[in-house]
Amino acid sequence: MYIKQLSLTNYRNYEQLSVQFDDKINVIIGENAQGKTNLMEAIYVLGFSKSHRTTKDKELIKWDENYAKIEGSVLKRKQQFPLEIQFNNKGKKAKLNHLEQKRLSDYIGALNIVMFAPEDLNLVKGSPQVRRRFIDMEIGQIQPIYIYHLGQYVKILKQRNHLLKQLQKRKSSDLTMLRVLTEQLIEHAAIILEKRFVFMKRLRSWAYEIHQGISRGIERLDLQYAPTVDVSEEDNQEKIVTVLTESFERTETKEVERGTTLLGPHRDDLVFYVNNKNVQTFGSQGQQRTTALSLKLAEIELIYEEIHDYPILLLDDVLSELDDYRQSHLLDTIEGKVQTFVSTTSVDGIHHQTLEKAEIFRIDNGK
């Protein structure tokens, strides 16, 4: 799939922009603070309806303006369709084929995107929250129903935590209500867990293969899901429900004592190993970066398996960070099949073969 055309109105430092993109490689060149990341972010927002670097939609609106708009024309499996997303002080509106989608889960997934940016190093180095966000976003874009279950889970979790606080402070003694909420929570938790396990299993085999390629056959990458309850990849949903139920029963007193939910997917983590050593603890900077890159490239293949079309790849400021071998390996892998956007401050860090094939855009102060 690819984006043919993109228009921005009052988006970050862009007052007005309208561009046609190449369906293969687009290189975006500009000095610092000219709008390279903003442009990548706009494409990302068009796909996910939210930014990769802020949760505050208002920040996307150009200063002193009251709305922002992103419009794009996408070609996916030989079909062309328009996407549009608008932000104002009341919220956001997302349109697919000119029709407003009230539920974002009906919008997300129309344009599939994989982004690799400097902050993705946090996928390996950062907190579990970063890794949960990664897995949630990725499953969400290929299975919109996942977003629904996650939304329900978060809603019930909030209610349950609120009640646990009340119980802790002895402002309530309603254990019956707590158990009703626990049961509802488990229903969605089990679906989330099962989908995460399936996703990890598939991501693992692609990531292994890709990582082998990038590391010239030297490094074996392994990914594991680390749950807070005693479940594993082999367990079906029924089994997961049973284990969750037992675990919550056992932890109830402790949860009341602490006033919060101690178990469940909102506390789980992912662990990455290179040659059986935890990359977060023992990996070099380069190994951590390569691990993150392998995960992202694995995602591209996984999305292809799922929807029979390749997503768009956004590489913000990362290509020049890779050594020559890794850079050309990366470009060989995606060559000709994935529409790619590469941003850089200077062409020096980019292979001349890449530049020859690419469409080049220069950005200067939002123009």
In order, the DSSP letters of 175-214 are HHHHHHHHHHHHHHHHHHHHHHHHHHHHHHHHHHHHHHHH
Using alpha carbons, select from 23, 21, 91, 94 the residue that is nearest to residue 61: 91
Give the nearer residue to ligand ATP in terms of CB position, either 263 or 318.
318
Q: Which is nearer to ligand ATP, 29 or 104 (CB)?
A: 29
Which residue number, 118 or 286, has a Cβ lying nearer to Mg ion? Answer: 118
User: In this structure, which amino acid lies at residue 137?
Assistant: M
Q: Which does 12 bind (CB under 5 to 8 A by kind): Mg ion, ligand ATP, none?
A: ligand ATP
User: What minimum distance in Å lies between the beta carbon of 317 and ligand ATP?
Assistant: 6
Print the SS3 string covering 114-174. EEECHHHHHHHHCCHHHHHHHHHHHHHHHCHHHHHHHHHHHHHHHHHHHHHHHHHCCCCCC
- Residue 38's binding partner out of ligand ATP, Mg ion, none, with CB under 5 to 8 Å set by partner kind: ligand ATP
Interacting residues toward ligand ATP by CB under 6 A: 12-13, 30, 32-38, 59, 61-63, 317, 345
Site for Mg ion in 34-53 (CB under 5 A): 36-37
Instruction: Tell me the closest approach of the beta carbon of residue 35 to ligand ATP, in angstroms.
Output: 4
CB of 35 to Mg ion, least distance (A): 9
Site residue total, Mg ion (CB under 5 A)? 2
Nearest by Cα to 183 from 163, 158, 153, 162: 153
- Smallest gap from Cβ 123 to ligand ATP, in A, equals 19
Return d(Cα 366, Cα 364) in angstroms, integer. Answer: 6
Pairing mode, if any, of strands 79-88 and 91-96? antiparallel
List phi, psi (to 5°) of 283: -75, 145
DSSP summary character for residue 348: G
**CB closer to ligand ATP out of 34 and 86:** 34
- Comparing CB distances to ligand ATP, the nearer of 63 and 253 is 63
Q: Which stretch binds Mg ion (CB under 5 A): 5-13, 31-39, 139-147, 356-364?
A: 31-39
Smallest CA-to-CA distance from 263 within 123, 133, 153, 166 is with 153
Taking the complex as a whole, the smallest distance from the CB of residue 37 to Mg ion amounts, in Å, to 3
Contact positions vs Mg ion (CB under 5 A): 36-37
